[in-house]
């Protein structure tokens, strides 16, 4: 009889394993959460080690002339000048987020405004033009960036904001053109035109009421990418400022890169914070898209 | 009786990105009198929708009028050239005199608005602000189009109502704004046979009673047979044959029309497969529409 018992249990076990495997393989969102929680556990581990009074491996992170490796007092270690790194890292992360948010929202609104202009003036031809522009037009901010670098000055916060907003605007304008085109050929918009709606009223009553969903979902999806792009620009020195208080996360990583082997925490912690922010923002974007009923592109998450 | 709409040799083309243009309608001519229903029959790609959209001013901007004319109230003092008309005049026309019905009735309603809001907007756009405020004035019309307790349906959203009810509301709205030219493109295609029959009968009654001219596009002769006075058969954008419905149905002159009639499924007939149109009949139709051998 034990064989019968075993035979009864085996399919259940197999089923459970299959379900688990299916959840792991198909439910990509589980990966995302597992990834996010993994980071939280790593952080908690670091905090626990720090609180227990043991400094992290001194062989790898040796104390230099002015700096201190992460310990119970300085969780993120200190810089060459002996400044605790937690404050600057969090401050820089805050600035980076605000910059990315500003660029995303501003760029998205600008893109939407351009598409709205095309809705009134050029319509179908304009939408096609926007779509093409969104493809090759991405080169414009890149050229602008190269020219700024070649000129040899960072020009501060504004340049970064301009480049990132430009990229967002191009992306959103191209997308908005497609949304306008789709919505314009939908039955109720055609029926509204047949009733004698003006373009302005069509836009306010029929298009904007449905367009905002696409725009919000698109902006949320762009945000983690823009944050990474902002960090990359900061790393290359675009938008560098004289005041250290105006540092951003990419700049901190670039600074820490110079002493990577002597003081790796100067790169590790800004990088870790950037990573966490990206994961959190990607999760947020995923939640926004799912709430608004927008299609989720698995390649993005 | 003077016609309300006159179309002469109308040709509309779509540019095909550097290649040869696509001719959507080819030298189409007909006229429509008040109280008359003209059926436009043709298969997919025959140019029905382009013709209907041309006459309701809803063509995409890239479409070009190659030649011909379309005139509203021809011969009257205030005759309107539909081809040369600017978009603001089109809006005025659609708000007051023109009612357009498309296929898939549910898609014509804004899902975020109630039926009441739709009716009110229609009347406001038609400049009937007093009627838009007083719902009691709408009720006789809604009863006339066969709605049962319409006052209880006005607060509903489109997805909460069946298609036939929505279609009756659309017809009621066209009556409320006083449209005298109705243009419909396969507007009963989503209905069951009984509902379709009721709607077609209603259309017939209203056209006769209120002297409404109706241009009705459909791929089915069955619809035309029940409701239309005259019919024009379209193929590849051109009119193959036109005339009184009974003449065309009983004594079709063109081989393509005969082939098209043979293709129509009939009740009580059990065919192994539907008849296909003979390629030579298609060639005949092309020759006819392009004037070959005339």
Which domain CATH number covers A131?
1.10.3720.10
CA closest to A205 among chain B residues: B110
Residues A175 and A35 in one domain: no
Q: With contacts defined as CB-CB under 8 Å, which chain A residues touch B108? A: 187-188, 190-191
What is the three-class DSSP state of B4?
A: coil
Measure CB to CB from residue A206 to each of B92, B102, B110 and give the nearest one: B110
For residue B223, which of B241, B202, B263, B196 has the smallest C-alpha distance? B196
CA closest to A122 among chain B residues: B61
Confidence (pLDDT) at A267: 84
Residues A37 and A130 in one domain: no
Cα distance from N-terminal residue to C-terminal residue, chain A: 50
- Is A18 inside a domain boundary? yes
Other residues' Cβ atoms within 10 Å of the Cβ of residue A227: 26
Number of domains in chain A: 2
Measure CB to CB from residue B102 to each of A123, A190, A206 and give the nearest one: A190
Report the gap between the CA of B94 and the closest CA in chain A (Å): 5
Residues A44 and A155 in one domain: no
Whether B104 contacts chain A with CB within 8 A: yes
pLDDT in tens, B219-270: 888 888 889 999 999 888 888 888 898 898 888 888 888 888 877 766 676 6
User: How would you classify the pairing of strands B230-235 and B238-244?
Assistant: antiparallel
For residue B49, which of B217, B257, B170 has the smallest C-alpha distance? B217
Q: What is the mean pLDDT of residues B90-98?
A: 90
Residues A282 and A136 in one domain: yes
pLDDT in tens, B28-59: 899 999 999 999 998 888 888 889 988 988 88
Asked if B56 and A124 come within 8 Å (Cβ–Cβ), the reply is no
- Is A56 inside a domain boundary? no
Distance CA B251, CA B232 (A): 14
Alpha-carbon A246 to chain mean position: 21
Residues A203 and A288 in one domain: yes
The Cα angle at residue B167 between residues B163 and B172, in degrees rounded to 5: 150
Distance CA A109, CA A164 (A): 13
- Is A127 inside a domain boundary? yes
List all residues 6 or more positions away from A30 whose beta carbon is below 8 Å from its beta carbon: A23, A24
Confidence (pLDDT) at A45: 55
pLDDT in tens, B137-178: 889 999 999 999 999 999 999 999 999 999 999 999 999 998
- Is A249 inside a domain boundary? yes
Residues A32 and A116 in one domain: no
Band of residue B294 on the pLDDT scale cut at 50, 70, 90: very low
Spatial contact of B55 and B181, defined as CB atoms under 8 Å apart: no
CA distances from A82 to A62, A74, A78, A266, B211 (A): 14, 10, 5, 12, 92
Band of residue B18 on the pLDDT scale cut at 50, 70, 90: low
Confidence (pLDDT) at B26: 86
Asked if B110 and A198 come within 8 Å (Cβ–Cβ), the reply is no
Cα distance from N-terminal residue to C-terminal residue, chain B: 30
pLDDT in tens, A98-151: 888 999 999 999 989 988 888 888 777 778 777 777 766 666 666 666 666 655
Other residues' Cβ atoms within 10 Å of the Cβ of residue B15: 12
Residues A47 and A108 in one domain: no
Confidence (pLDDT) at A57: 39
Asked if A198 and B56 come within 8 Å (Cβ–Cβ), the reply is no
Q: With contacts defined as CB-CB under 8 Å, which chain A residues touch B121? A: 195
Whether B91 contacts chain A with CB within 8 A: yes
What are the two backbone dihedrals, phi and then psi, of residue B98, each rounded to the nearest 5 degrees? -110, 135
Distance CA B110, CA B128 (A): 21
- B/e letters for A36-75, b = 16+ CB within 10 Å, e = fewer, are eeeeeeeeeebeebbeeeebbeeeebeeeeebbbbbeebb
**Tokens found for residue A82:** 């002996």
Torsion of CA A269, A270, A276, A279, to 10 degrees: -140
Whether A193 contacts chain B with CB within 8 A: yes
Confidence (pLDDT) at B293: 43
**Low-confidence spans in chain A with pLDDT less than 50:** 1-7, 53-62, 155, 242
List A residues 117-136 in contact with B (Cβ-Cβ < 8 A). 123-125
Q: Report ipTM for this prediction.
A: 0.78
Asked if A196 and B107 come within 8 Å (Cβ–Cβ), the reply is no
Residues A252 and A115 in one domain: yes
Confidence (pLDDT) at A146: 62
Residues A227 and A167 in one domain: yes
User: How would you classify the pairing of strands B181-185 and B238-244?
Assistant: unpaired
Confidence (pLDDT) at B47: 87
Q: Which 3-state string (H, E, C) describes A87-104?
A: HHHHHHHHHHHHHHHHHH
Structural domain harbouring A142 = 86-292
Q: With contacts defined as CB-CB under 8 Å, which chain B residues touch A125? A: 61-62
Whether B122 contacts chain A with CB within 8 A: yes
Residues A98 and A168 in one domain: yes
Q: What is the mean pLDDT of chain B?
A: 85
- Is A131 inside a domain boundary? yes
**Tokens found for residue A294:** 């927008």
Whether A205 contacts chain B with CB within 8 A: yes
Report the gap between the CA of B244 and the closest CA in chain A (Å): 29
Residues A144 and A235 in one domain: yes
Asked if B122 and A193 come within 8 Å (Cβ–Cβ), the reply is no
Across chain A, which distance is largest between two alpha carbons, in Å?
A: 85
Confidence (pLDDT) at A139: 66
Q: Identify each DSSP E strand in chain B by its residue range.
A: 5-16, 19-32, 37-41, 64-72, 80-81, 98-101, 181-185, 213-218, 230-235, 238-244
User: How would you classify the pairing of strands B230-235 and B37-41?
Assistant: parallel
Q: With contacts defined as CB-CB under 8 Å, which chain A residues touch B112? A: 209-210
Residues A30 and A179 in one domain: no
Asked if B109 and A196 come within 8 Å (Cβ–Cβ), the reply is no
Q: With contacts defined as CB-CB under 8 Å, which chain A residues touch B60? A: 123-124
Torsion of CA B162, B168, B169, B172, to 10 degrees: 180
| DSSP at B197 | H
Asked if A191 and B108 come within 8 Å (Cβ–Cβ), the reply is yes
Q: With contacts defined as CB-CB under 8 Å, which chain B residues touch A194? A: 56, 58, 94, 98-100, 102
């Amino acid at each position: 009889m034990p064989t019968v018992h075993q035979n009864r249990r085996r399919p259940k076990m197999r089923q459970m394993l299959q379900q688990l495997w299916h959840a792991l393989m198909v439910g990509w969102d589980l990966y995302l959460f597992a990834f996010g929680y993994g980071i939280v556990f790593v952080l908690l581990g670091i905090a626990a080690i720090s609180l227990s009074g043991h400094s992290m491996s001194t062989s790898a992170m040796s104390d230099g002339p002015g700096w201190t490796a992460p310990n119970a007092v300085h969780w993120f270690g200190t810089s060459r000048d002996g400044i605790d790194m937690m404050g600057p890292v969090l401050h820089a992360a805050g600035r980076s987020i605000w910059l990315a948010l500003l660029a995303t929202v501003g760029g998205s609104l600008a893109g939407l405004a351009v598409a709205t202009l095309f809705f009134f003036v050029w319509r179908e031809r304009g939408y096609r033009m926007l779509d093409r522009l969104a493809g090759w037009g991405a080169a414009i901010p890149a050229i602008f960036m190269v020219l700024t670098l070649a000129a040899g000055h960072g020009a501060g916060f504004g340049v970064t904001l301009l480049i990132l907003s430009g990229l967002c605007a191009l992306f959103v304008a191209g997308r908005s053109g497609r949304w306008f085109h789709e919505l314009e050929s939908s039955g109720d918009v055609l029926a509204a035109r047949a009733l004698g709606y003006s373009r302005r009223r069509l836009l306010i009553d029929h298009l904007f009421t449905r367009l905002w969903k696409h725009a919000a979902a698109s902006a949320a999806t762009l945000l983690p990418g823009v944050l990474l792009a902002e960090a990359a620009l900061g790393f290359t020195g675009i938008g560098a400022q004289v005041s250290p208080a105006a540092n951003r996360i990419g700049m901190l990583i670039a600074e820490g890169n110079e002493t990577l082997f002597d003081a790796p925490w100067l790169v590790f912690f800004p990088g870790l914070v950037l990573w966490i922010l990206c994961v959190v923002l990607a999760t947020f974007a995923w939640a926004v898209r799912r709430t608004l009923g927008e299609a989720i592109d698995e390649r993005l998450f | 009786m003077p016609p309300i709409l006159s179309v002469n040799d109308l040709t509309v083309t779509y540019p095909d990105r550097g290649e040869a243009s696509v001719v959507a309608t080819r030298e189409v001519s007909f006229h429509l009198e008040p109280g008359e229903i003209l059926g436009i029959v043709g298969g997919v790609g025959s140019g029905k929708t382009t013709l209907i959209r041309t006459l309701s001013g809803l063509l995409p901007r890239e479409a070009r009028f190659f030649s011909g004319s379309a005139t509203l109230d021809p011969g009257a003092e205030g005759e309107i050239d539909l081809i040369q008309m600017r978009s603001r005049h089109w809006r005025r026309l659609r708000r007051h005199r023109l009612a357009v019905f498309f296929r898939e009735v549910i898609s014509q309603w804004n899902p975020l608005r109630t039926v009441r809001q739709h009716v009110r907007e229609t009347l406001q756009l038609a400049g009937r602000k007093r009627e838009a405020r007083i719902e009691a004035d709408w009720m006789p019309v809604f009863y006339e189009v066969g709605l049962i307790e319409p006052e209880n349906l006005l607060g509903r959203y489109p997805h909460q109502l069946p298609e036939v009810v929505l279609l009756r509301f659309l017809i009621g709205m066209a009556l409320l704004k006083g449209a005298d030219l109705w243009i419909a493109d396969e507007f009963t295609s989503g209905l069951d046979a009984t509902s379709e029959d009721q709607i077609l009968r209603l259309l017939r009654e209203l056209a006769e009673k209120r002297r409404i001219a109706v241009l009705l596009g459909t791929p089915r002769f069955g619809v035309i047979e029940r409701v239309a006075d005259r019919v024009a058969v379209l193929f590849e954008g051109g009119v193959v044959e036109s005339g009184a419905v009974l003449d065309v149905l009983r004594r079709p002159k063109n081989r393509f029309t005969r082939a098209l009639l043979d293709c129509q499924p009939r009740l009580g007939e059990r065919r192994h497969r539907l008849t296909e149109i003979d390629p030579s009949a298609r060639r005949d139709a092309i020759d006819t529409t392009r004037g070959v051998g005339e």
